[in-house]
Structure 1
Amino acid sequence: MDGHYNFEGAKNRLCAFVEEHHNNDTYQLTNFKDFDKLKPILNEKPTYWRLTVPTSEATQSEELVLSMQGVIVNKDLPPILIKPNEQHQPFIRQSVQLTGFDSKEFQTCINKLQQLHQTFSCQVPEGNMEPLTLGQFRQFDTVEFATRYFTSRRDDPNGTEMPFDQSTDPNGVLARLANNKKYFHGEDNKVLYYALKHVNDESPPRFFDVDPAQFRVGDIVEVQITTAAVPIKNNKFKMISQLRCLALLDGTFTDVSIPYQD
């Protein structure tokens, strides 16, 4: 981000959004405390560990979905306009990298992710969990959330295939990749995109569906994520944070050109 970007203004606005979302109905990462209620579940097809929490029904649980806020410093989002190399099909993904600058709220989110990582570590043989890695933007920590466009039929032979959204695949290049039947686009590959908008002065703001092309580096956003521990080479496991929803909270600070730099 260049010298025209208002770091302090964006950080203050971000902290305000965190305060506003403390009491919403989702599990806000900054104030999540129910680690003792988490129940790790081993999924067989595909194989991975996931975290669940109890529901109002005592005998039932649901996958843990967490939300947090941050500023986009890097992204790889739809639309996909040019056909990727077929060899890259298993790895093509939509991703966003966030920072909170030096806000204590964002650091709290990182600490909570570390605690979730430790929860997963207790489910695998000692020493078999890869460390949680963070990125850097200038002197600030960043976290990345991503979801792949495809799932392997070998991992999930009975998964239901879903069509790509027009905003994601306007030229049909991803749909044509799926014709090889080795991979499919399913429910687990979907990401929802929203923007917080005011309808009028009398009503509170609401979330509306938006085109993912609308998001820019410098935007203040909210993500909803799930976490999982997936097997990698040499019997190791790695914690991934899957992007489930990306919502634009404030695009005020992207009115100027903000090129991404390491």
Structure 2
Amino acid sequence: MQDASEWLGEYVVTEYPEPHCWRLTRSASGTELEEGVFSLQGVIASKELPPVLDASSASKRSAPFLRQQVTLTGLSLPAFEKALDYAGDVFNKFRRYFPDKQIQPWVLPPCSESPGRTITFSNHYFTRRNEAPTLRSIPFPLVVDPRSILANLVDGTMFHSEDNEVSYYERYQEEDKSLKHQYIPPQSFRIGDIVDVQFGFVAYRMRSGMHILKPIMYSISLVDKRYSDVRHCSC
């Protein structure tokens, strides 16, 4: 595997105006910067994915905190643990960008049901309008919000943007061995599935003035469901 310095040197921490945050970016063409989007395969240890069906858990007060998320474990496999070490190197890059002791520690908890560490990827359903005054509001996909529970929370202070979107796929192999992706609904994922998550590293300023680094989920692809199907088979 590459040493972190071989690829992390290409990236810089860049402040984004809307929504206000800091992202890991690199030069794309000329002086233009593009966000670094990374990929990690692992086993789903826990999840909170759409559709949103329970209105009692969604309110105007809770809207800024509502999110979807998935926690992956690598069963202590060396490649997964090495990838988590790389994530720690990314944190150190962010840590040196902010004033001393102005970012929360990077914590990757152990898995409660298997060896090794875990990492959680998430994405909020809403963006605060005061943090993104010019971003366009987009509707929630029907597979995410079939009962308009989230849509009914949109107002002048909170909205759903492209930055909040997560895509859901299943990977399959064609006869020529090429890999393809097809869209699947988010309820298709199960604990024990092997998945591939695409994500970016994003830091936010909290109300306390401290900063926090989060791996923000942009897509999740089902790679192998055989193990979760066998585990829950009642035959």
Which TM-score applies when normalising by structure 1? 0.82
Q: Do 2:104 and 2:212's aligned partners in 1 also have CA atoms closer than 8 Å? A: yes
Could you list the structure 1 runs, at least 4 aligned residues long, displaced by more than 3 angstroms after superposition.
29-33
What SS does the aligned partner of 1:170 have?
coil
Coordinate RMSD, CA, aligned = 1.9
Q: 1:221, 1:30 → 2: CA distance?
A: 24
Q: Secondary structure at the match of 1:154?
A: helix
**Distance in 2 between residues matched to 1:218 and 1:31, nearest whole Å:** 29
Q: Distance in 1 between matches of 2:3 and 2:229?
A: 29
- Please tell me whether the aligned partners of residues 30 and 109 of structure 1 are also in contact (alpha carbons under 8 angstroms): no
Structure 1 residue 44, shift from structure 2 partner: 2.7
State the SS of the aligned residue for 2:70.
strand
Q: C-alpha deviations, 1:158-179, integer Å up to 9, x for none?
A: 210111111111111111111x
Which region of structure 1 is more displaced relative to structure 2, 60-69 or 36-45?
Answer: 36-45
Partner of residue 168, structure 1: 144
Gaps spanning 5+ residues in structure 2: where? none
Q: 2:206 aligns with which of 232, 250, 256?
A: 232
Q: Which residue of 2 aligns with 1:124?
A: 98
2:25 to 44, 52, 59: 52
**Structure 1 pair 128/169, CA: closer, same or farther in 2 (3 Å)?**
same
> Do the aligned residues in 2 keep the contact of 1:30 with 1:68 (CA within 8 Å)?
no
Q: Which of 214, 222, 230 is 1:248 aligned to? A: 222
Aligned length: 228
Determine the structure 2 residue equivalent to 1:35. 8
**Of 40, 65, 69, which aligns to 1:95?**
69
Instruction: Show the counterpart of 1:18.
Output: none
How far did 1:31 drift?
7.6
Summarize deviations over 1:83-135 as a string: whole Å, max 9, x none: 21321111110100000011111111111111110111111111111110112
Rounded to whole Å, the distance in 2 between the matches of 1:217 and 1:135 is 18
Q: Alpha-carbon deviation of 1:136? A: 2.3
What is the rounded CA distance, in whole Å, between the counterparts of 1:100 and 1:154 in structure 2? 38
Pairing partner for 1:215 from 189, 194, 199: 189
In 2, are the aligned partners of 1:76 and 1:95 still within 8 Å (CA)? yes
2:44–2:195 Cα contact (<8 Å) kept: yes
Taking structure 1 as reference, are residues 70 and 203 closer, same or farther at Cα in structure 2, changes over 3 Å only?
A: closer
C-alpha distance in structure 1 between counterparts of 2:140 and 2:151, whole Å: 7
Alignment partner, residue 11 of structure 1? none
CA contact (8 A) 1:227 1:240 kept: yes
